[in-house]
Amino acid sequence: MMNNFKQLALDVIQIEQQAITELTQYIDESFEQACQLMFNCQGRVIIVGMGKSGHIGGKIAATLASTGTPSFFVHPGEASHGDLGMITNDDVVLTISHSGETGEVLAIVPVIKRIGAKLISMTGNPASTLAKLGDTHVCVAVSQEACPLGLAPTSSTTATLVMGDALAVALLNARGFTADDFALSHPGGSLGKRLLLRLSDIMHCGERLPTVSTQAKIKDALVEMSLKGLGMTAVIDDKGQLQGLFTDGDLRRILDERIDIHHDTIASVMTKNPTVAHQDMLAAEGLKIMEDKKINGLIIIDDNNNPIGAMNMHDLLKSGVL
């Protein structure tokens, strides 16, 4: 039996791949009608499905919602006990049933029609009751289930999920949905942080910004760096404009030179014209600058070249961008 595991798994994958390939024949006028109904929807796209179709429906609803089409899932059993109140005549209802004869789904179709919501049926049987009741029908028929008994929904649920993705992506493109739009619905994820978080959101500013004047002694700069804990300090002139930068790396480089940290000024050893970033830049842009320049920190400036913040790799790591 152990020797059959790998072959059985390969058979399942092959059967489900074939099921997905067969879906291309169903990207037809009915599919376009379904897309148009959802695109024109003034309310929400409500997904309804029972059992395994319900699980797939929940994922389709989540994908639609995160790609610019407001959507949520309603369980047909709960719908018959009050949740139909969630549906309005501005909505489009996508009902999923592989057989097209699921009793719990069919039971609420008359109410959906009476409410006035448009109905899209997604089934594996174009001749089914549900398929005929829909304003349009999206077919997800498969030639066989991957289950050797032909009983457990396998290929059929995969095909339904893929067709749901096809609808969502088609609508995403039609709406002109952008990466920034996607980030707005994913603010807690790493992608959202990369697309939404700006340097001004994570930089150290005010009293936490390490700065010394060009006349300051090196020892004073070292004290400032130690106090602020960023491994660097901005060097500014009397007008507050950035003149240079001194970092831990600069300190290591001057150790072999005859430098008197008690008497020499920071201006004599600072890095002039350092790499800087603007406060409105995305944190991800700041990360790229640091990676390209092989530096560990950045001074953030305003439009007048005044340093207003500082950040390092640790700040990017802590914010979830890195």
pLDDT(283) > 70: yes
pLDDT(71) > 60: yes
**pLDDT (0 to 100) of residue 176:** 86
Instruction: Give the pLDDT band of residue 1 (cuts 50, 70, 90).
Output: very low
d(Cα 199, Cα 278) in Å, to the nearest integer? 8
The CATH fold assigned to 199-319 is CBS-domain (3.10.580)
* 3-state SS assignment for residue 250: helix
Start-end ranges of CATH 3.10.580.10 in the chain? 199-319
d(Cα 9, Cα 93) in Å, to the nearest integer? 35
pLDDT(189) > 50: yes
The CATH superfamily label for domain 2-177 reads: Glucose-6-phosphate isomerase like protein; domain 1 (3.40.50.10490)
d(Cα 246, Cα 250) in Å, to the nearest integer? 6
Q: 205-245 pLDDT, tens per residue?
A: 999 999 999 999 999 999 999 999 999 999 999 988 999 99
Per the listing, tokens 């480089």 go with 253
Start-end ranges of CATH 3.40.50.10490 in the chain? 2-177
d(Cα 160, Cα 28) in Å, to the nearest integer? 16
- Main-chain phi, psi angles of 178, to 5 degrees: -110, 170
